[in-house]
Structure 1
Amino acid sequence: MKATQLRNRIVAFFVGIALFISALFGAASFLFAYSIEDRFFIYLLDDEAQTVAAQLESGLEARPRLDFIRYYPEKHELPTIIREVLEDEPNRIEFSGENDTHYHLKQIPAGYLLAEVSEQLVVRKIKGGMLKFILVLFGGVLVLALILAFTSLVMAKRLIKPLDTLVKIVEDAPVERLPQNFSGQFVNDEIGAFARTLEHALSRIRRFISREQAFTRDVSHELRTPVAITQSSLTLLRQTPLTDKQAELVGRIADAQHQITQSLEVLLALAREETLADANTRVLPVVEQVILSQAEKIAGKDIEVEVDIAAKLELPIAPSALRLLLNNLIGNAFTHIRSGVVTIEGHAQTIMVSDTGEGITADLLKTLFEPGAKGPDSEGMGMGLSMVKRLCEKLDIELSVSSSDSGSAFCLKFPG
């Protein structure tokens, strides 16, 4: 989340709280006023009930002191509208009549006390005024909320400014030059503590990258040289007279040599950041190079290779990375098919390598991209597809596979 968004959320929170409190206060004012008025009439009727009870005990005629309260000895003497409502709601104490009349009823042992309080409803008479008052109050709160919003925005800007600075420092720093010695510019608060923690973490990452780069240089030099010497020796050995058994052993050594070379290239590609550099590569020439380099695997097999790729098709990937991916996928297809067709297709942002072989078993399909996963007839180490998966993740390429008894298909979907 950007710091500006955090600022806006802080301002919106304070303004929302102010408006909510004002609306809550207005609603509470109305409810409080109505409640107080109702309680007032209940207290008046309770007081008149005591007076009427005392009068009746003294043998006097029941005569309420307040002229808007009347005494009814029997229920049938009550006004019709009151009796009808009491038939359905015997415990009701408030009633509305015709012409905006309003009643409060209290039942006593000797009858009923009925107060016609239409003229005494103060709250209802000043309801319009109260509403105007609350609207004026709400307007005042709104102005206060705007002032609070401006104040909150200024405060939030000051509070979030160090976070903006920290984001800018990290956001603008390239991976090969991670920022350092930046935490000293922040005060000793929560953001300052976060800056120091981040600086320490970036320092560790910088050391990790340095070690990885040194390892990549060492591996590139120390492993490529003996691999090249071994390859040259195998080439010379094949030019000498060999028995069938010796030729078979030399072929197996050559296959292992090829696997080592291919794995080394993928591992180095995973370690080098420059592999991720933006580049557009024509697909067809790379596919042709890969087919030629993997042709030994289908020598003597009844296999047809079909290529359906437009000559001008380009994809956003470096040539070396595309070659590594296709070497594994096409090489696997050539290795594991005995006869049939291997098809390499390229359309829009997608490359698909499919074959008409026996397919991949359901159990192997579940763990196909895990290190060491391989079929029972595989002579490899089971690392190729795992490294292909890792390289695809690094390059944001979507890798998928489908398989059945009629063959398998690997699909590479490139971003863009």
Structure 2
Amino acid sequence: MAREPGLSVRLKLTLSYAGFLMLASTLLLAVVWAFLLRYVPDGPINSLGPFVPNRSDLLRAFAPRAALMLVFLLVFGLLGGWLLAGRMLAPLTRITNATRKAATGSLSHRIWLDGRNDEFRELADAFDTMLGRLEAQVAEQQRFAANASHELRTPLAITQTLLEVARNDPSSDTGALVERLLFVNSRAIDLTEALLLLSRADQRSFGREHVDLSLIAEDATETLLPLAEAHGLTIETSGDLTPTVGSPTLLLQLTTNLVHNAIVHNLPDGGAVRVTTSRERDAVVLTVENTGARLTRQQVSTLTEPFQRGAQRVRTDHAGVGLGLAIVRSITQAHDGTLALTPVADGGLRVSVRLAAASPRDGG
């Protein structure tokens, strides 16, 4: 936005300091002059004694010196105000320079303003915190874009290879080729839909309404019950009413991803999945726990990263697209909630999603 040039803040502060000093000096001189006038008579004084000045004599002696003093105070106020304003605005100059560097794409720069806490230091610390978050987000987006490009390139490369083989060998089995192409294309579609869902959650472009996590958990488990039975697993659901405010579609996707992961990353046979909902004073909690291989905290800390697939946790028949828990994390953050992943001592993973409980004034 274009603006007309104006006076700098330093010049404005300088003029303000000098103006205030001149006003205070003028008032002081006026008080002194008024005080003298009370005790000095007006007109000539006839006296044979020592000389006694009248008001005219005082005016001739006082006025030039007062004017000279005001000029001195004006110059002193301008110079002192300029120096004081520069010293006061020095932190703001550093903040401005850091902002300009950030505008050019340099997010690694920090202000690191030292000294005791004041308004400028609070602003500098807040700006440093913002730069840190922006730098982390940009790095995460770049890493995500690189991983997404790699993941999308894989099915396209496989498709191209299958088509080249079919072109070079007209006698190849067309039915097998079609089945393979359908599988690869389905994987590409799943990945694209997951990326779109992740983008939608990150942008928070969804409506909010009253939902009950316990009902959503029941829907998700009923939908995935045949998959659990096919893997020889049991699903246990329990809990209380857990009202919250959010997107029913996204929260259902969140729960479905958690239950699906708990099923496919489980024991080969005889495993279990437990889905519980609980209500706290100001929050509702959805917990999904499964049996499975033992995990370290270091392994668990990377599971919410996009396209992270632990080789020991993934079945070949349900490898997924590597975005299940990343989508869960994004949906949780979009609902201002918290996500906690904890390895189970005997093997498996416990995932808890904590969201704000709905209050009566939220409506429904």
TM-score range, shorter chain: 0.3 to 0.5
Name the TM-score, length of structure 1 as normaliser.
0.36
Larger radius of gyration: 1
